[in-house]
A and B are shown apart, each in its own frame.
Chain A
Amino acid sequence: MASGVLKQTTGLTGLAVVANPHHLLSVLYGKILRTIQKMPSSAAYRNYTEEIIKVRAEIVKNTSDVKELERKIGCGQAEELIQQAENELVLARKMLTWKPWEPLITKPLPNQWAWPCTK
């Protein structure tokens, strides 16, 4: 399974080293993808997030070394990737309730964003 020793520390306060980042990441990415499937296929958020997560999931599946994984994804350490995936999952679940892909909910008044302000 692991081809090397666990690193000693992440270097970040409060972020503990995890022993099985591949497992956690694949679980989280799976959950995110399943949540995303429930959104309409025309939603830009769904398409972009799906792209990102699928690319990362591919890399996680094909790379067994943690350092190599971190380098390939290029977004910080494995523990940080896990945190980012958790954040994205929370966001995706909330997006299901908010439905941000619908058209604009309130149009602004014509002078609302005009600057310098004229009546």
Chain B
Amino acid sequence: MAACILRQLSRGIGFAAKFYGGTVSRLTHGEAAAVATETRPTVRKFDAIQHSQLTDFGKYVAECLPKYVQKVQLTSGDELEVLIAPEGIVPVLQFLKDHQNSQFANLVDIAGMDVPARQYRFEVIYNLLSLRYNSRIRVKTYTDELTPLDSAFSVFKAANWYEREIWDMYGVFFANHPDLRRILTDYGFEGHPFRKDFPLSGYVEVRYDDERKRVVVEPVELAQEFRRFELSTPWEQFPNFRDVPAAAEEVPVDPKEKK
């Protein structure tokens, strides 16, 4: 079966079908009835074709790169995430950028996340966009404070400043990066501000000292002690949405299944 042509056609048909409302033929009667009655603009509608396209592509990536892909999941209904081992950053990104069926040539963002409870506390998240196929994908890896990651600079030139920012804010070192230095913090700043153990007001404050005629760095002195406001209410807020699906839905990737 010409999987690629099918993919391109299904992607094309998917959008045409969405436009002409042709999705009804692919849904069961019950779902069609449910979709047909859902007209409220404030309720998110489930797009079965996009869902199936994303799950198929997730399985495709996992099948082509079994060495690196640990898990594939769909977040919030329509965001495909590929969770990979840290050794596979460059291969996976290169595959997604250059392969015919993916062509995610646009690196939108590299984000970081700190979860101190985990052994590998930092997550590095690459957001990619494909202009050819009009779709997005997220690639996530992990590391701890000391283990370096491979820089994505060889794949995407845009990764330059994004990785500098992650180094500055989290302390994640990127090997083979052309110029890894601080980008947002002050020149002599110590510490990595986005880490969860870095306090909100920081450790130091700066002021101009008239006697010494220069800016001095001193430990921070707050006029008021730190106040924490608990913003979540103890009462249930959305009784109509008790049975919403979980945030991330895993795409089952069966390694034994071969076409």
Q: Which residues of A contact B (CB under 8 A)?
A: 42, 44-45, 47-49, 51-52, 55, 74-76, 84, 87-88, 90-91, 94-95, 98-109, 111-113, 115, 117-119
Which B residues are CB-close (under 8 A) to A91?
94-95, 98-99
CB distance from A95 to the nearest CB of B (A): 8
CB distance from B94 to the nearest CB of A (A): 6
B65 CB within 8 Å of chain A: yes
Residue of A nearest to B5 (CB): A55
B101 CB within 8 Å of chain A: yes
Among the interface residues B4, B9, B87, B142, which one has the most CB atoms of the partner chain A within 10 A?
A: B4
10 CB < 8 A contacts A-B: A42-B258, A55-B4, A74-B5, A87-B99, A88-B98, A98-B67, A103-B66, A105-B88, A108-B70, A115-B248
Residue of B nearest to A108 (CB): B70
CB distance from A104 to the nearest CB of B (A): 6
A14 to B100, CA, bound (A): 21
Are the C-beta atoms of A100 and B91 separated by less than 8 Å?
A: yes
Are the C-beta atoms of A113 and B70 separated by less than 8 Å?
A: yes
Are the C-beta atoms of A100 and B60 separated by less than 8 Å?
A: no
B233 CB within 8 Å of chain A: no
Contact with A along B184-206 (1 / 0, CB 8 A): 00000000000000000000000
A107 to B258, CA, bound (A): 21
If A45-B64, A88-B100 are given as contacts, then 6 extra A-B residue pairs at C-beta distance below 8 Å, sorted by A number, are A75-B100, A84-B103, A98-B91, A100-B65, A104-B85, A106-B87
B161 CB within 8 Å of chain A: no
Are the C-beta atoms of A107 and B70 separated by less than 8 Å?
A: yes
Are the C-beta atoms of A75 and B8 separated by less than 8 Å?
A: yes
Contact with A along B158-178 (1 / 0, CB 8 A): 000000000000000000000
Residue of A nearest to B1 (CB): A51
CB distance from B177 to the nearest CB of A (A): 19
Q: Which of B220-259 contact A (CB under 8 A)?
A: 247-248, 255, 258-259
Cβ-neighbour of A52 out of B100, B132, B142 (below 8 A): B100
Which B residues are CB-close (under 8 A) to A55?
2, 4-5
Are the C-beta atoms of A52 and B118 separated by less than 8 Å?
A: no
CB distance from A32 to the nearest CB of B (A): 10
Among the interface residues A88, A103, A104, which one has the most CB atoms of the partner chain B within 10 A?
A: A104
Q: Which residues of B contact A (CB under 8 A)?
A: 2-5, 8-9, 12, 60, 63-71, 83, 85-88, 91, 94-95, 97-101, 103, 115, 117-120, 132, 142, 247-248, 255, 258-259
Given contacts A88-B99, A104-B85, A108-B83, contact A75 B64 (CB under 8 A): no
CB distance from A21 to the nearest CB of B (A): 16
Which A residues are CB-close (under 8 A) to B100?
49, 52, 75, 84, 88
Given contacts A45-B65, A74-B8, A113-B70, contact A105 B3 (CB under 8 A): no
Which B residues are CB-close (under 8 A) to A48?
3-4, 60, 64, 101
Which A residues are CB-close (under 8 A) to B65?
45, 100
Given contacts A49-B100, A87-B97, contact A109 B118 (CB under 8 A): yes
Which B residues are CB-close (under 8 A) to A109?
118-120
Cβ-neighbour of B86 out of A75, A103, A106, A118 (below 8 A): A106
CB distance from B100 to the nearest CB of A (A): 5
Which A residues are CB-close (under 8 A) to B258?
42
